[in-house]
Amino acid sequence: MKEYLLLFRGGDGATVQQSPEKWQEHMQQWMQWMGKLTEQGKFIGAQPLETTGKQITGNKKVVTDGPFMEGKEFIGGYLMCKADTYDEAIEIAKGCPILQFDDGKIEVRELKSVHP
Amino acid sequence: MTLSHDTDKLTEHLFRHESGKMVSVLTNIFGVENLETAEDVVQQTFMDAIAVWKLKGIPENPSAWLFRVAKNKAIDVIRRNKHSVRFDFSEGPRALLTSEYTLSITMDELFKDELIKDDQLKMMFACCHPGISSESQITLILKTLCAFSTAEIAKAFLTTEDTVSKRLYRAKEFFRNEKVRLEIPSVEELKNRTNSVLRAIYLLFNEGYNSTHSQEVIREDLMDEAMMLCKLLAENRYTQVPEVFALTALMCFHAARSKSRTTVEGEIILLPEQDRKKWNHPLIAEGNRYLNIAAFGDEISSYHLEAAIAFEHCSAETFDKTNWMRVLQLYEWLCRVAPSPVTELNRIIAFMQVKGPAAALKEVDLLENKKSLKSYYLYHALLGDIHSKLNNRADARSHFESAIQLTKSRAEQKVLYHKILALA
């Protein structure tokens, strides 16, 4: 089994956040989606990320504020899971509640084994 | 002044009634190996309650306040220990506690009212794990589910706080080493495991009903806790076995008589002299209902028989009108189902009522294991009664004296002294 990183962009769901009931319902969906992965033993970890951030660049280690991107561009969170193929990882990602929003976007990346 | 006094009283009351539930819910979240962390969270929650309520007044729904604060504290504990090896987040819904996406909502789920009783039941099974000695099982139950302090447990069982602490320490170590899980046992194990829970409840109740270790003869608090725990078993569909209902019935019948068993000064009143008007008749009726429910299934347990005996006593209008023949038959049955020296002695007490003291004396002679019985106060008290009825004053006196030597209970000693005085 391989490991995949799902990077979440957009889908902050401003409309959902306005109503506590809708927010509760939305988080329930996250729980159901992730709960299914834990039951299947495919869940590794997941965290949302703050909107703040810093960047450190090059051998001069220049620190800049950022990422100053539009909301839908920066990474809002991640989930790591196990799957056999990209297809399976994509199927998992399709269940993510972030895709209920038009601007929700998930980047699926396979973790690489550096050791030969 | 009054306000803070009220707050103290209320928090004490809530501590008794809510902390066992809170410890159970939190242990279900943290794992049995972290029982101590669960207890710490509950302790801190109550300290907060005392401080905040004194300042801001008592909230509208104090129990809900406590659970909410405990939940928030638990979330802090989980955040702090997300990567600690002390917590095992590898399985099932607990894995969701490691992610901020699902931590808060999973906690809401785990704190739902309808799960509390299940958690208490699971906690009871963990406390009565067969790998834990029966004294420690009761100690654990009192500490975790009934909110008794080590000092209170030590007092109830006339032992030192140090001994109680050591028992708790060893039990918690056992939980960690054996990786005991908080769960309702599997179907195959359920019967045996339920029986060990029942035995612990029975012992706890007996300690309240007839305190061998304490200065007081009756400890109603212990009886109440035992009945509360047994009702949890009676309400859960997994544990609704006939024995559970039989034991509940037995406890109702015994508890119904407790007000008439001692004087205001705490002296024992023996069954023939008890004022039967003081018996709690609604509780007897409740016991009767449980005994009827207990009649399903094809096994007659010792709890069924003891409940049936207690029912005979409860339903007799006077001591003399007791159906002693029926009581004797039930004791004979009980001696076959659960043979024990104490049951044998009780059987002979009933036997004496039916066949008279001379025949009873012969029955005592026929008893096996007399050597071990000789160190038992009831053996001598019974022989004292038999000889006293036969007018063998000297024998009666010497047996009563032996009995006095063998019991630690002041109240029992006093009853025996009165019997000696009555001989003259």
Tokens of A107: 């980047």
Confidence class for position B85, pLDDT limits 50, 70, 90: confident
Rounded Cα distance between B33 and B368, Å, is: 45
pLDDT-wise least confident of A30-44, A64-78, B143-157: A64-78
The predicted pLDDT at position B233 comes to: 94
Instruction: State in Å, rounded, how far the first CA of chain B is from the last one.
Output: 58
Nearest CA in chain B to A23: B105
Q: In the predicted model, what is the mean pLDDT of residues B405-413?
A: 84
> Has residue B216 got a pLDDT over 90?
no
Give me the pLDDT at residue B1, please.
41
Q: What is the pLDDT of residues B227-261, one digit of tens each?
A: 999 999 999 988 999 999 999 999 999 999 988 88
Chain A residues 35-94 with CB within 8 Å of chain B? 35, 38-39, 43, 45-48, 77, 79
> Could you tell me how many helices (H) and strands (E) chain B has, helices first?
20, 0
For chains A and B, CB pairs below 8 A equal: 41
Say which DSSP state B268 is in.
Answer: B
pLDDT (average), residues B356-385? 89
pLDDT averaged over every residue in chain B: 90
Q: What is the pLDDT of residue B288?
A: 95
Homologous superfamily in CATH for domain A2-110: Dimeric alpha+beta barrel (3.30.70.1060)
Determine contact: B95 vs chain A, CB below 8 A: yes
> Per-residue pLDDT tens for B122-169?
999 999 999 999 889 989 999 999 888 888 888 777 788 999 999 999
Count of beta carbons in the 10 Å neighbourhood of residue B300: 18
Q: Where are the domains of chain B?
A: 1-111
Q: What percent of chain B stands above pLDDT 90? A: 63
Closest residue to A28, CB basis, from B98, B99, B105: B105
Domain assignments of chain A as residue spans, ordered by start: 2-110
Inter-residue contact B412 to B389 (CB < 8 Å): no
Q: What is the mean pLDDT of residues B321-334?
A: 96
- On whether the CB atoms of residues A104 and A98 are closer than 8 A, the answer is yes
Give per-residue pLDDT as tens, B157-196.
Answer: 778 899 999 999 999 999 999 888 898 998 888 888 898 8
Please report, for residues A103, A106, B110, B275, B356, the alpha-carbon distance to residue B362 in angstroms, rounded to integers and kept in the order given: 94, 89, 62, 33, 11
Question: For residues B227 and B255, is the Cβ–Cβ distance under 8 A?
Answer: yes
pLDDT at B379 over 50: yes
List C-alpha distances in Å: A83 to A91, A105, B165, B249, B344: 10, 19, 49, 55, 67
Torsion of CA B74, B76, B82, B87, to 10 degrees: -30
Whether residues B96 and A45 touch (CB distance < 8 A) is answered with: no
Could you please report the per-residue DSSP string of B107-135?
HHHHT-HHHHHHHHHHHHHHHT-TTS-HH
On the question of pLDDT at B302 being above 90, the answer is yes
pLDDT band at A15, cuts 50/70/90?
low
Average pLDDT over every residue of B395-403: 95
Over residues B358-386, the mean pLDDT reads: 89
β pairing state of A62-65 and A54-57: antiparallel
Instruction: Please count the CA atoms within 13 angstroms of the CA of B424 that sit on its side-chain side.
Output: 4
Q: Is B160 helix (H, G, I), strand (E, B) or coil?
A: coil
Angle at A105 between CA A102 and CA A111, to 5 degrees: 165
Instruction: Calculate mean pLDDT across residues B325-331.
Output: 97
